[in-house]
C-alpha cells in the first residue's frame, strides 16, 4: 500500500495527515514523543519547538518533548520557537553560537522537520507522495529552504501548495463549482484565498515534484475537470505571535518594567499570555501571575475580553485584517465576482478562533456563511486531496521585475515585467527592448526580483543586493532579488560591444507550465539569437 503524507508546518503547531485508502479519507497522525497529549476538540498537534541538546552533532529534542522537559520556559539560547516565521522573514534574526556551531531559525526548522519526517518514515511502508504547504506570501528563499529541508526523504513525489487553497479542499465542499473564501489565521501569518471548488469529481490535472536524490524536477499529469481554481488571494505577516508580544509589553508596562529589563522571565510570560488568550476566547475575564526570580517580583495582570480587543485595536490589528479581506474582494470584482457570490467562509488556524475575529467575518459575510469546525485539520487534509487527484488552477501571487540602473538616482530599481495575478503558462510573451548603460559594454545582465506590495505608509528605503524597497508615491513595494548572486545571473554577451543609450537587445519573457520564467534574447544590431528559451528562475 502506497503512503500519502501531508505536513502543515505551522508557526505554533504542525499537523501531519495520512490518506487511508480503505476509508477513502485523510486522518490526522499522532507521533510518539512529538504530538501533544489529546485534547477535547483538537486533532493531534505537534508543537513547533526545538531544543538543541548538542550543537556539534545536531542532536535535538522536538515537539511536545521540549515542553514536557520544561525547556520552553527557560531563558536558554538552545531553545527555538516560531522558527517558521524567522525563516520567512526578510530580515532574519542573528544566529546563535551553540557548542561552537552557528544555529539560526533555518537550521532549527530543518532539525524540526527532520524529526517529524523521521517519525513519519519509521513505519513499514515508504512514503510515496509528500505534500507540503506554505503561506501564500512566502518568498522564493523560504520555498527553497523548505524543499532543501526535506530533500533527503525517500518520497517519490513532492508537492508544494499554498495553505489557504489546501484548506478550501480540506473543508470538503461537495457542491461542484462553489465559491469559498478561506480565512487562514495562525501564529505567524494571515492568508486569505478565494477559491472555486472543482466542477467535476473525476481525477484532474496537477503538478508533482519528482525527487530523485539531489535532482528535483516537475511533472504534469493530465486529467479531467477536477480542478480547484484560485480566483484571488492576499496575505501578510500577522498572527498570534504579534498578539503575544503586544500583551507582554502591556503587562510589563502595567508592572513598571521595560522589556529589556524582563530578563529570564520572558519565556514564562510568553507561555502565560498564550494561555490567557485561550481563556479569553472561552470566557470574558482572565488573569495571570508570573514570578520573576531575578527581580523577586510577581507580574500580575487581569484582562477582560474587551480590554484585549482594545489593545489589539490600538495596534491596528482589525484594520490589517479588514485591509486584507478588501484586497481579496477587489481582486474578485475584477473577475465579476462580488461578496454576495461567496457561498462559504472557512476559518482556519488558532487565531481565527478568537471571538472578535469571528465577529468580523460574520459582519462581513453573514453568520450563515462562516464555518469554524475544521480550524486545525483543513490545511493538511486538503493537501492530501491534491495528492489523491484534485487539480489546481493557480496564478502567481507576486509580481516580478527586471533590475536596471536608474540614470536619475544612480541606484538599482526594478521594472515590473510580470504582474501579480498572472496565470500560467503564458501563451503570449512579454517583450522589452534593452540598451547598454555605458559605452563599450560587453554584456547585459538580467536580474529578476520578486515584488511584494507592502501597502501604503512611511517605510525606510533600502538599496542593496539583498533587499530593496522601492517607493512609488504612497504605494510601497518590497523587492527580493532571485538570481543576483554569482553564476545565477543570466547574461547576454554583446559582440560588438554596446553603446550607451542605444537599443541593443530584444528580450521575450514567458512563464511555462512549471512556473519557470524563460527568456529569449535577440541582438537586434546583428539580428542574432543570443539566448533561446532559457530558464532564468522558477517563480512562486
pLDDT tens per residue, the chain (540 residues)? Answer: 568 889 999 889 999 999 887 767 889 999 999 999 988 778 999 999 999 999 999 999 999 999 999 998 887 899 999 888 888 776 677 899 999 999 999 999 999 999 998 888 765 667 778 888 887 666 566 777 877 777 655 566 777 777 777 888 788 776 778 899 999 999 888 989 898 876 654 333 333 333 333 333 333 333 344 566 778 888 888 999 999 999 999 999 998 887 777 767 888 898 899 999 989 999 999 999 998 877 788 889 999 999 999 999 999 999 999 999 999 999 999 889 999 999 999 999 999 999 999 999 999 999 999 999 899 999 999 888 766 655 555 667 678 888 887 767 778 888 888 887 787 778 889 999 988 888 999 998 888 888 876 443 322 222 233 333 333 333 446 787 888 776 667 788 999 999 988 899 999 998 886 677 899 999 999 999 999 998 888 765
Same domain, 410 and 371: no
Q: Is residue 84 part of a domain?
A: yes
- Residue (of 298, 32, 37, 9) closest to 166 by Cα position: 9
Domain count of the fold of the chain: 2
Measure the CA dihedral 290/42/166/170, to 10°: -160
Read off the C-alpha cell for 265.
522571565
pTM above 0.85, yes or no: no
pLDDT at 122: 66
Domain's final residue, options 333, 368, 393: 393
pLDDT at 216: 36
In a 10 Å sphere around its CB, with 0-12 CB exposed, 13-18 middle and 19+ buried, how is residue 398 labelled? buried
Taken as a whole, the chain contains a residue count of 540
pLDDT at 138: 63
Domain's final residue, options 393, 417, 438: 393
pLDDT at 463: 29
Q: Is residue 303 part of a domain?
A: no
Q: Is residue 533 part of a domain?
A: yes
Domain's final residue, options 335, 361, 393: 393
> What span, in angstroms and rounded, lies between the C-alpha atoms of 305 and 279?
9
Q: Is residue 469 part of a domain?
A: yes
Q: Which domain holds residue 436?
A: 399-538
530 conformational bin, left if phi > 0, alpha if psi -120 to 50, beta if neither: alpha
Cell 501564500 sits on residue: 136
Same domain, 372 and 414: no
Amino acid at each position: 500500500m502506497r503512503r500519502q503524507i501531508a505536513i502543515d508546518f505551522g508557526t505554533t503547531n504542525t499537523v501531519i495527515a495520512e490518506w487511508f485508502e480503505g476509508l477513502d479519507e485523510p486522518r490526522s497522525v499522532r507521533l510518539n514523543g512529538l504530538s501533544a497529549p489529546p485534547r477535547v476538540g483538537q486533532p493531534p498537534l505537534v508543537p513547533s519547538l526545538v531544543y538543541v541538546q548538542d550543537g556539534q552533532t545536531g542532536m535535538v529534542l522536538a515537539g511536545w518533548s521540549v515542553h514536557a522537559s520544561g525547556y520552553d520556559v527557560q531563558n536558554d539560547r538552545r531553545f527555538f520557537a516560531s522558527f517558521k516565521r524567522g525563516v520567512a522573514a526578510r530580515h532574519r534574526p542573528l544566529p546563535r553560537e551553540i557548542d561552537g556551531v552557528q544555529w539560526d531559525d533555518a537550521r532549527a526548522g530543518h532539525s524540526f522537520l527532520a524529526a517529524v519526517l523521521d517519525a513519519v518514515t519509521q513505519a513499514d511502508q515508504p512514503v510515496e507522495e509528500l505534500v507540503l504547504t506554505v503561506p501564500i506570501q512566502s518568498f522564493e528563499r523560504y520555498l527553497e529552504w523548505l524543499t532543501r529541508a526535506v530533500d533527503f526523504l525517500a518520497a517519490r513525489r513532492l508537492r508544494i501548495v499554498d495553505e489557504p487553497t489546501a484548506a478550501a479542499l480540506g473543508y470538503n465542499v461537495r457542491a461542484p463549482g462553489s465559491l469559498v473564501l478561506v480565512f487562514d489565521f495562525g501564529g505567524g501569518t494571515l492568508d486569505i484565498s478565494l477559491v472555486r471548488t472543482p466542477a467535476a469529481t473525476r481525477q484532474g490535472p496537477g503538478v508533482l515534484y519528482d525527487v530523485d536524490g539531489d535532482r528535483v524536477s516537475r511533472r504534469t499529469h493530465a486529467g479531467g475537470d477536477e480542478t480547484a481554481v484560485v480566483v484571488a488571494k492576499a496575505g501578510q505577516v500577522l498572527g498570534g505571535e504579534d498578539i503575544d508580544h503586544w500583551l507582554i509589553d502591556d503587562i510589563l508596562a502595567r508592572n513598571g518594567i521595560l522589556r529589556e529589563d524582563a530578563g529570564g522571565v520572558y519565556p514564562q510570560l510568553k507561555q502565560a499570555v498564550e494561555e490567557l488568550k485561550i481563556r479569553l476566547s472561552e470566557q470574558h475575564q482572565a488573569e495571570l501571575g508570573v514570578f520573576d526570580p531575578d527581580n523577586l517580583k510577581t507580574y500580575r495582570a487581569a484582562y477582560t475580553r474587551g480590554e484585549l480587543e482594545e489593545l489589539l485595536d490600538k495596534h491596528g490589528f482589525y484594520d490589517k485584517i479588514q485591509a486584507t479581506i478588501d484586497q481579496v474582494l477587489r481582486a474578485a470584482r475584477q473577475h465579476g465576482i462580488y461578496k454576495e457570490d461567496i457561498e462559504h467562509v472557512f476559518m482556519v488556524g488558532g487565531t481565527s478562533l478568537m471571538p472578535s475575529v469571528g465577529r468580523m467575518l460574520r459582519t462581513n459575510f453573514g453568520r450563515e456563511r462562516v464555518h469554524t469546525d475544521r480550524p486545525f485539520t483543513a490545511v493538511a487534509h486538503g493537501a492530501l486531496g491534491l495528492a489523491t487527484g484534485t487539480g489546481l488552477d493557480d496564478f502567481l501571487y507576486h509580481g516580478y521585475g527586471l533590475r536596471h540602473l536608474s540614470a536619475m538616482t544612480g541606484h538599482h530599481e526594478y521594472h515590473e515585467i510580470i504582474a501579480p495575478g498572472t496565470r500560467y503558462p503564458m501563451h503570449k510573451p512579454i517583450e522589452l527592448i534593452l540598451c547598454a548603460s555605458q559605452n563599450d559594454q560587453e554584456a547585459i545582465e538580467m536580474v529578476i526580483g520578486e515584488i511584494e506590495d507592502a501597502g501604503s505608509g512611511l517605510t525606510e528605503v533600502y538599496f542593496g543586493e539583498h533587499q530593496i524597497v522601492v517607493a512609488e508615491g504612497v504605494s510601497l513595494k518590497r523587492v527580493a532579488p532571485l538570481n543576483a548572486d554569482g553564476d545565477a545571473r543570466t547574461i547576454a554577451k554583446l559582440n560588438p560591444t554596446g553603446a550607451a543609450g542605444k537599443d541593443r537587445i530584444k528580450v521575450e519573457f514567458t512563464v511555462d507550465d512549471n512556473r519557470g520564467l524563460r527568456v529569449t534574447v535577440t541582438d537586434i544590431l546583428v539580428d542574432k539569437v543570443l539566448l533561446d528559451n532559457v530558464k532564468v528562475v522558477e517563480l512562486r
